[in-house]
Structure 1
């Protein structure tokens, strides 16, 4: 998921990591307490709303109810946390818990406890089904979803009203709306960010809307499937080729730039996640949101994104880790985190509670509706990280003036299969 970068300074993060490494053996204190080391990502955009505050409050509450277990939390920016945890594991100093972006490599190396080892049956069963399944490797769940998001098509209400157009429900309607916006001088009728920042997300949203995806029905890479080729030929010829995506080549447009342009009023429509709501509200921009259009109507599924909690076996604190995680995933605690950062709950009970709350429903209800049927990246594949790099590097070329979608998707597919077979 795209994450907001923390406002903590590098010096503070370095000091936190030094303290973590010093205590990473998970040893007992003078009182004989077990100390669990947790490394977590920061979802805040400044020190004022850093995730450190959430984890400190949660840990204090847990420790009061569970004497004998201490929680030592280090929160790091998303730019650093995955790399830092990887280095800790490679140095033989794995934390007890890590809340980061990917789990499959560690599961494949047999370094993680399974969810069965840790969670009560009610807690594990409470995870939303698509998220729980995405956390499995060889049908065993190792990745426990911690935060989730989906995508909707955002549109500028003022621009749509002045052009006399309704939100699109199909590709042809999206194209027609973009043409009317262009005729009225809108700089970027549809923003298509296929630049290196998050091209894999925009790509997947379009693949799904075209009836395809990164993998086939049995989970094998199928990036150059006919449906996917058709999707990118349409984007190349019917959107980019007709000048409906603005002056910047999609392969050079990043998501952050597209979001900023939308909040300035320069974009008619684009795919977005809940963070864009906050950004638009701060600028006073009125917007609407609808499900992503498909070829002939609403897309059958949308893209879901999840970040993961995992527990390392190295320090042997299975019982204590299990107690803490069952506490973390209580309905109350899941709701507190989701509300703080405008993210979607990963459990059925919290999702239901949010749907029934008027304020929550008004803010995130549409995203919640999309989550149960959403499809996630193939995060269960240890090759996905490298495949994602290839998508970011090459997918923008498919819609260039001289781009060849079939050839480029075939190139990415070949590299994906090679990477998968090498694992």
Structure 2
């Protein structure tokens, strides 16, 4: 995600009659430079929409991911929420009764087009408030040149991965397996590993199970078989951020790591030949992988329900979802756009991620305690694999914090 600090306002020119409506949308920037800022995507979309809806003006302000959630929170706290926000989380606003339900806004075909697990993740108490806007999954990336030099084939199990890492270390590879458990995005790497060990953050009922037997076993394995054997590189996992790990992969210094679609372009720009395979599991390929989604939500404060709904139907048309997904190497959030992407030769590089999407699991974003739990994971999880660290102790402490956060809801 971009952290450019770019901020712009895109406006249309609806007429000045008393029946005219201006919709305010605050959106996140997915670009990594001024040239591909999300401002351009929204400017084009809004221009096309306003041409067919003369009474409606859509003002879009685009902010970096560093700033956008805070910007929306400040607007809400000041009693002046935007009509629409496209940001990282929706549950707090839904719990406070500030959001429209999705079925009060969207036409039935549009709402039914969302991928089912993304629509479910947008629900609080069985009612959808969060509309998925962008999604991605994770696969294991590996450096083809380093693998060829060491005579390796891609791993399918944890034991394969550890053996490959040993061989890469013997060849002098700096990061045989990069394990970013630093504060930037530790919750993602952690969940990917927990899922591959048949665990996860919650049970089927949505209760936190962070210190489950399966999860403790997974982190014991990581600590003893990877980190303890010096197979994760010179930076302690608890101090390695995802951005640094990705940059090291693009520099040719990493044998294997979990990655999402944006890593493809980073590696290609630096001339690194890479392969991608499903996440290895304890005994076989992992049956589930991490899915991540960002969210669109509509605030009730200003009214404009009909205009917001019509605009969102346009935003979620197959053409617009495909355009956005292709521009930023992300996965479509709708069935129609996913089918179109699967059938199109131009999207072949995203196929491994698309294949994973139906069985992906998302963070428990529908619970308001998740933000606090995620922060706790980022702060503590690196200590679980540190020398002298106790996976059971660290996971137990995070579970205790999750239980407190849940009871405070």
Task: Give the TM bin, normalised by the shorter chain.
Answer: over 0.9
- Aligned twin of 2:171: 184
Which of 74, 87, 92 in structure 1 is aligned with 2:74? 87
Q: What is the deviation of 1:162?
A: 0.9
Say which of 4, 7, 22 aligns to 1:6.
4
Checking the alignment, whether the CA contact within 8 Å between 2:173 and 2:255 is kept in structure 1 is yes
TM-score (norm: length of structure 1): 0.94
Determine which of 390, 396, 405 is the counterpart of 2:391: 405
1:305 aligns with 2:292: yes
- Residue 345 in structure 1 maps to residue 332 in structure 2: yes
From 87, 112, 115, the equivalent of 2:99 is: 112
Superposed displacement of residue 32, structure 1: 3.0
- Contact 1:6–1:43 under 8 Å retained in 2: no
Q: Deviations over 1:280-312 (max 9, x none)?
A: 000011000000000001001000000000000
Question: Could you list the per-position Cα deviations for residues 141-162 of structure 1 after superposition, in whole angstroms to 9, with x for gaps in the alignment?
Answer: 0000000000000000001011
1:63 corresponds to: 50
User: Quick one: distance in 2 between partners of 1:241 and 1:180?
Assistant: 16
| Aligned residue in 2 for 1:159 | 146
Are residues 1:35 and 2:22 paired? yes
Q: Find out whether 1:330 has 2:317 as its counterpart.
A: yes
| Alignment: residue pair count | 407
Check the 8 A contact 2:177/2:254 in 1, yes or no: yes
Say if 1:114 and 1:140, in contact at 8 Å, map to a contact too. yes
Structure 1 distance, partners of 2:265, 2:252, is 15
- C-alpha displacement of 1:67: 2.0
RMSD (Å) for aligned C-alpha atoms: 1.4
Cα distance in 2 for residues equivalent to 1:265 and 1:55: 35
**Any residues of structure 2 matched to 1:216-235 within 5 Å, and which?**
216-235=203-222
Which secondary structure state, in structure 1, belongs to the residue aligned with residue 66 of structure 2? helix
Q: Work out whether 1:253 is the aligned partner of 2:240.
A: yes
Shift of 1:183: 0.9
How far apart, in 2, do the equivalents of 1:91 and 1:7 lie? Answer: 22
C-alpha displacement of 1:69: 1.2
How far the C-alpha of 1:30 sits from its partner, in A, is 4.0
1:24 is matched with which residue? none
Note the 1:132-151 alignment, pairs <5 A: 132-151=119-138
Deviation of 1:64 (Å):
1.0
Say which SS state the counterpart of residue 145 (structure 1) adopts.
strand
Give the TM-score normalised by the residue count of structure 2.
0.98
* Paired position in structure 1 for 2:262: 275
Does residue 304 of structure 2 align to residue 317 of structure 1? yes
The correspondence for 2:32, drawn from 42, 45, 68, is 45
Matched, 1:236 2:199: no
Contact 2:131 2:296 in 1 (8 A): yes
2:356 aligns with one of 361, 370, 373: 370
Structure 1: give runs of 5+ residues left out of the alignment.
Answer: 21-26
| Cα shift readout 1:338-362 (whole Å, capped 9, x = no counterpart) | 00000000000000000000110x2
Superposition deviation, residue 6 in structure 1 = 2.8
Is the CA contact 1:251–1:397 (under 8 Å) kept in the aligned structure 2?
yes
Residue of structure 2 equivalent to 1:381: 367
Q: CA deviation at 1:7?
A: 6.0
Q: Which runs of 5+ in 2 are unaligned?
A: none
CA contact (8 A) 2:15 2:54 kept: no
CA contact (8 A) 2:5 2:66 kept: no
The whole-number CA distance in structure 2 between the counterparts of 1:99 and 1:266 is 35
| Cα distance in 1 for residues equivalent to 2:381 and 2:15 | 51
Q: How does 1:204-219 map to 2 (within 5 A)?
A: 204-219=191-206
Deviation at 1:28, TM superposition (A): 9.0
